[in-house]
Amino acid sequence: MSRYSENPLKTRADLCRLATDLIEPLLPCLSPGKARLHLGDTGALYDEAVAGMEGFSRVLWALVPMLAGGCPEAEPLWAVWREGILHGTDPAHEEYWGDIGPFDQRMVEMAVMGMALCMIPERFYFELPEDGRRNLYRWLDQINRYDMPQNNWLFFRVLVNCGFLRVGLPTDAARLEDDLANLESHYCGDGWYYDKPAQRDYYTLWAFHYYGLVYARFMEDRDPERAGRFRARARAIAPRFAAWFDGEGRALPYGRSLTYRFAQGAFWSACALGGVTAVGLGWGEIRHLLLENLRWWMRRPIFDRDGVLTIGYGYPNLVFAEGYNAPGSPYWAMKVFAALALPEDHPFWQAEERPCVPPRVLADEQARLLLTRDAGNRSVIAYTAGNHAYEHAHEDEKYEKFAYSTRFAFSVAKEAGTLKKGAFDSMLAVKGARGLWHGRSGFERFSLDRREVSCTWSPMDGVRVETRLIPWENWHVRCHTVRTDRPLELAEGGFAVCRDLPGPRPCARVVSEARATDAMASARCAAGSCAVFAISGYEGGEVVEAEPNTSLMYPRTLIPTLRAKLDPGEGRLVCAVCATEDGGLPDTIPDEVMRIAEQCL
C-alpha cells in the first residue's frame, strides 16, 4: 500500500478508501461461487475449505461497517459477498460451508455475521430471498448446539444470538445468559479480561472489549445495565492500553496472534462505535491512536506483490505463526474499520487529531507489565513477569522475555541447539553440559511496581533463578541470582538489532558497527541500537548473528550478548542494557545506572 506512505490517512474518506484497497485485491482469489477465498497454500489446524470460508468472512469486519456508514465503495463489493453468503449457507450448493461440530473454527467466523444482523439487518437479512434468510438462520443457529472453548469464543455465540434478537428470529435466551455470565468470570479488574488465568494479551482489547462494545451499542435498549458495565470497563482500560503505543504509531509486539497486525487499533475503533472516551482520551486522542497506528502499518512490507496481506508481523514470516494462522487469518485486522459505521458528522470524525502521551512509567499489575517510554515518546519498553501462555507456538518467546519493545520487537527460536538458532534476545539463556539452551518458561512467583519487576523461575530441574529488572530512562539493570546443582553456561541477550538500513523494503547493507569486548557487546543501526554492559559475573561479550527470520520486525538481526559460566552452587550476574532510537550508543554506564547495579551486588 505504497500510496499511503505518500498520502497519510487522515479522513473518514481515506479510511473507506483504505478498506476498499485492502478488499479489491482479494476479488480474483474468490471461488466461482464467491463463498471462499484462496489466498495461499500454507496450512492451519483446520482444512482448506474452512480456511477459505475464514478468509471470506473476515472481510466482513470491514465491509459491514462500510455499508452501515454508507461508504459508496462498499456497494459493488457487497454484491459479491452477498452472493457468497447465499451460496455458503445453502446446503444444496457445492460451496456450502458445511455443518459444524464442537470447537469448530467456523464458530469464530460466525461472530461478524451476528454483528451484521445487529448493524445492518436490512442489508444482511431482510433483503435476502426467503430461502436465503432461512438458510442463513439455520447455518448460524448451529453455534447454539455445540461446545466451544470457555474463553473469548463465548462472545461469538453471544453476538449471533444478539443478531437473532435484533431481527426477530428464535433465540436461545438461556444459552445467551449463561455465556454472558461465563464471560463475566473472565474479568479480573482495571479493565482486564483473560483467556487463561496467567495470560494477558491483545485478546482483552480486540476480543473481549471489542465484542462488549458491539453488545453495548446494539443491546442497550434490552440490557442497559450490562451495556453500561461494558462501557465502564472500556473506559478503565483505555488509558492503560494507550501506554502500549509510542509516538511513532507503533504498538507493543507482545503475545500471540500478532499476524492480525493493525487489529492492534481495533479497540480504538470499537470505542468510537460504542461511544467511549476516557480521562485524557477524548475523540481527538482516540482518533490519533487509531490512524497513527494504521499509518505506521501501511509503511511496512506486509503485503505480497498482489496486495494481499501475508502471515507475519513486520514482514512475511511463517516462523513465528500459530497453528490457527491460515492464509486468510490476517484479515482479522479488518476489525479496525468499525468506526466507518459512524457518519461523517460524528464527534469522532469531526475531532482534530491530538497526540496522546501516556505517563513515562505505568505499572499495570493486572497486565503484569511495567511499561516505560523514553523522553521523546519514540519507543515503549514493557518489562514482564507473571504472564505464561499455553498451547501456542513459541509461547515463551511471546510472553516471557524480560523486555518487549515497540522499536525492536522480539525474536522466536528456530531450535535451541545454538544461540544463533535460538535467537535469545531480551533473555537469560541457560544450558547444562551437552544440553539445549533454555529461557524463562513459567514462574514460581513474581512482583512488580513502578521501580522494578522481579520473578523466580526454573529453566530446568535443579536450576533456580531469581531475576530483578530495574529500568532507568533508556537503560535497565538485570540482576540474576542463580542456584544450580550442575555446571552451567549462560548467555544474556539484549535487543535484536536490524542488520539492514531501514526503508520500505530492507536492502542488503549491514549495520555500521557491531562490537564485543570482555566487558560489553553492542550493535548499532539507524533503526535502533543496543548495548549490554557486564557489571558482575560475566566472562565476555559477543554479537550473535541470529538465524534469519527469527525477529518479528526485521529478517536479519544481531543480538549483543554476554557469556558466563557458573559452577554448582550460587552465583550472581549483574548487567546493564541500553537501547537507543538511532545509531548512537554510550561508551560507559551512567552513574545512576551504576548506583542501581551496586544495590544488586
Residue-wise pLDDT for 271-328, tens only, equals 999 999 999 999 999 999 999 999 999 999 999 999 999 999 999 999 999 999 999 9
Contact 38, 29 (CB under 8 A): yes
What percentage of the chain carries pLDDT values higher than 70? 97
Q: Is 220 exposed, middle or buried (0-12, 13-18, 19+ CB in 10 A)?
A: middle
Task: Tell me the pTM.
Answer: 0.96
Sign, Cα dihedral of 210, 213, 215, 218: negative
- Confidence at 582, pLDDT banded by 50, 70, 90: confident
User: Average pLDDT, stretch 168-175?
Assistant: 94
Tens-place pLDDT, residues 60-106: 999 999 999 999 999 999 999 999 999 999 999 999 999 999 999 99
pLDDT on residue 372? 97
Query: How many whole angstroms separate alpha carbon 118 and alpha carbon 369?
Result: 36
* Burial class, 91, CB count within 10 angstroms (exposed 0-12 / middle 13-18 / buried 19+): exposed
Average pLDDT, the chain: 95
Which of the four pLDDT bands, split at 50, 70 and 90, describes residue 8?
A: confident
Nearest to 297 by CA among 107, 592, 15, 599: 15
pLDDT mean over 198-221: 96
Compute CA distances 32 → 60, 77, 87, 158, whole Å: 19, 15, 10, 32
The domains found in the chain, sorted by start residue, are: 3-350 (1.50.10.10), 362-598 (2.70.98)
Which residues, in sequence order, are bridge partners of residue 565? Answer: 489
> Tell me, what DSSP letter sits at residue 189?
E
Per the model's pLDDT, the better-predicted residue between 388 and 69 turns out to be 69
Q: Are 336 and 269 in contact (CB under 8 A)?
A: yes
Higher-scoring residue by pLDDT: 502, 355: 355
Report the pLDDT value the prediction gives residue 568, as an integer from 0 to 100.
97
Mean pLDDT of 555-580: 97
- CA distance readout (Å), 458 to 113, 375, 484: 45, 35, 10
CA atoms 90, 93, 96, 98: torsion sign? positive
Average pLDDT over residues 555-575: 97
**How many whole angstroms separate alpha carbon 67 and alpha carbon 65?**
5
pLDDT for 508 beyond 60? no
Sign of the dihedral defined by the CA atoms of residues 265, 266, 272, 277, in that order? negative
- Rounded Cα distance, 261 and 265, in Å: 9
Pairing of strands 488-493, 475-484: unpaired
Q: What sign for the dihedral angle of Cα 72, 77, 79, 82?
A: negative
pLDDT band at 433 (very low <50, low <70, confident <90, very high): confident
507: pLDDT strictly greater than 50: no
Cβ neighbours of residue 304 closer than 8 Å, sequence gap 6 or more: 310, 316
Mean pLDDT of 497-513: 63
Strand partners, 456: 445, 466
The alpha carbon of 144 is separated from its chain's Cα centroid by a whole number of angstroms, namely 29
Q: Taking 80 as the threshold, does the pLDDT of residue 51 lie above it? A: yes
Cβ-count burial 440-478 (b if 16+ within 10 Å, e if not)? bbebeebebeeebbbbebbbbeebbbbbbbbbbebbbbb
pLDDT at 1 over 80: no
Dihedrals φ, ψ of 598, to 5°?
Answer: -65, -30
The pLDDT score that the predictor gives to residue 601 is 82
Contact assessment for residue 478 and residue 574, using Cβ atoms and an 8 Å cutoff: yes
505 pLDDT exceeds 60?
no
DSSP string, 583-597: S---SS--HHHHHHH
Q: Pairing between strand 569-580 and 557-566? A: unpaired
Q: What is the mean pLDDT of residues 37-57?
A: 96
DSSP H or E run through 296:
helix 283-297
Residue 212 confidence (pLDDT):
98
At 544, which helix (H) or strand (E)? strand 540-545
Instruction: Identify the band that residue 196 occupies on the pLDDT scale cut at 50, 70 and 90.
Output: confident
Residue 2 binned pLDDT confidence (cut-offs 50, 70, 90): low
pLDDT of 449 > 50? The answer is yes
